[in-house]
Structure 1
């Protein structure tokens, strides 16, 4: 192939088109995920929490993350409701089942903060 020939230009254009298509698909997918997350958040605001302050619940740890409190917390769900659990021992990891006592709700009552009780 000769640089600048119609065949080289067409091949380059095809590569650029494929890259643009991949970028658009990725961005559109992210927007879809963001919209779904927003819908779930709105639905959570409209329902009563399935947990009560002072009660203990058992659930699986879906992830460990840094919380606004500045410490690492275990994240899990009770009937789809997010519970952030503090004071989790170092040997707890993703997939472990724990018991935690609910201490408070966040603003909007779409999640709760809890403290670790025991590994189930």
Structure 2
């Protein structure tokens, strides 16, 4: 009978430890994201309005416009690019012209110009 209680206690301890480790790992990722966002707020954007840049597409998402947009980065700065043809895929390098910044200048919208 004592073995059953010890085994149950050890099992419960393992579950608690696994839960704590998972929670710490998940909160660590959000902390890194928050630090990156704060760092972006403290620096000037590495892109300028009206200028065209080449960058790789990291993903596609639905932007606030409701349309599918390509997401990419120039020197770690996020660009949301509209009007990207369906034939373009993640990993493709494109050219896009910066059209506007978000309120805090931590990202920008751009218009697709072509593939590189």
* TM-score for both structures, normalised by structure 2: 0.94
Q: Which runs of 4+ in 1 moved over 4 A?
A: none
Residue 14 of structure 2 is aligned to residue 41 of structure 1: no
Question: Which of the numbers 79, 96, 101 marks the counterpart of 1:100?
Answer: 96
* 1:1-120 alignment runs, 5 A limit: 5-120=1-116
- Report the structure number with the largest CA radius of gyration: 1
* Residue 25 of structure 1: how far off its partner (Å): 0.8
* Residue 11 of structure 1: how far off its partner (Å): 1.5
* TM-score for both structures, normalised by structure 1: 0.91
Backbone CA RMSD of aligned residues: 1.0
Q: In the comparison of the two structures, how many residue pairs are matched?
A: 116
Give unpaired runs (5+ residues) of structure 2: none
